Chains A and B, each alone.
Chain A
Amino acid sequence: MFKSIYNYFSDIYTAVRSLLTGMKVTGHYVFHPKEIITQQYPENRDELKMFDRFRGEVVMLHDENNEHKCTGCSACDVACPNGTIEIISDWEINEEGKKKKIIDKFVYHLQMCTMCGLCIPACPTDAIVMSEDFEHAVFDRSKLTKVLNKPGSKIMDGIK
């Protein structure tokens, strides 16, 4: 009899105490707002900096003369598991009269890309890198298919 009454009140005591311990933890953060680490995205878009190795979409590097390093060797195409990269090549005749393979279009299907990053180490001339852009949403599906070499761009001298 006495034991059951004792148990009844001790249960209430432990219950209230356990709830108060939990409240203490949450209450701590009410009075210490500096410990909260929430980022206000998209308000902080300007100062938001991704890490160097972050794997966003694939981009082709161009220098100030609108020249890239891609030789059209299709190594990235072979390394890609999903058929994301499609290279349409063309032939160029240089001054010596020799035929040389160049890229016409470097087509990148973002909708098929899994950002695995296997194409980057596969490239022998480091022509492509993964950018830090992670906002891929577009309103039209056709916009996801991109041509990475800029119009009128050429291959850099000395890249074979």
Chain B
Amino acid sequence: MTPALETRGLVKRFGGLTATDDVTFRLEPGARHALIGPNGAGKTTFINLLTGVLAPTSGQILLEGEDVTRLRPELRVQRGLARTFQINQLFAAMTPLETIGLAVSERMGGGRDWWRVIGSKREILDEIVEIADRFRLTDVLGERTANLAYGKQRLLEIAVAFACKPRVLLLDEPAAGVPEAERHELLATVAALPREVSVLLIEHDMDLVFSFAERISVLVNGALFTEGTVEEVSTDPRVRAVYLGESVDE
């Protein structure tokens, strides 16, 4: 089967530093896949390459079998690759309603309409309401994003990406900084993401990784260190060594 997302020999160098080192990676359709690695392992660079914020030094990126290596970020989104951000990247002065509505309307090709009042298309409204419900934002739809509780902002962060109707969703530490009381709600919505969306989770939090992921890839010094099922990776002594900061015998 064609992978949802694939990289072939992906390399990114910043001067003398190799941030991504020959990464060949497959995300299967419908996957619940986690990418872990110690700080500075190159997880963020890898995501930026996938989404098109950075251009790779060499290698290929394929989205559902099509080469998107040189495609602009917004076009990758339109092809079905969306991401969330580790640090909230929201529109502070807008409401969740406007934010989700914007993403939906852009996806439906209505973003250029300058003559129409926002909220005048029924199919967009229906979808906004559905997404708000899924991500438990219904009660705060009309509030200013900057005033939302942090947990709600994290939910909105995912909801916006989801509103792009991605077939591949990259979740960058979705639970980072969420207080314990709001954590459950967030994890439940992540767990309830529809199966037709393939998810790559970039995470530090091992509890979340083990509860959510079916496969795990470990990135160390920019290179894929190992990959396997949760069982395999969690019992791998070398992975433990990396996480405990001990030297690894090659």
Do A and B truly interact?
Answer: no
Chain B residues in contact with chain A, CB under 8 A?
Answer: none
Chain A residues in contact with chain B, CB under 8 A?
Answer: none
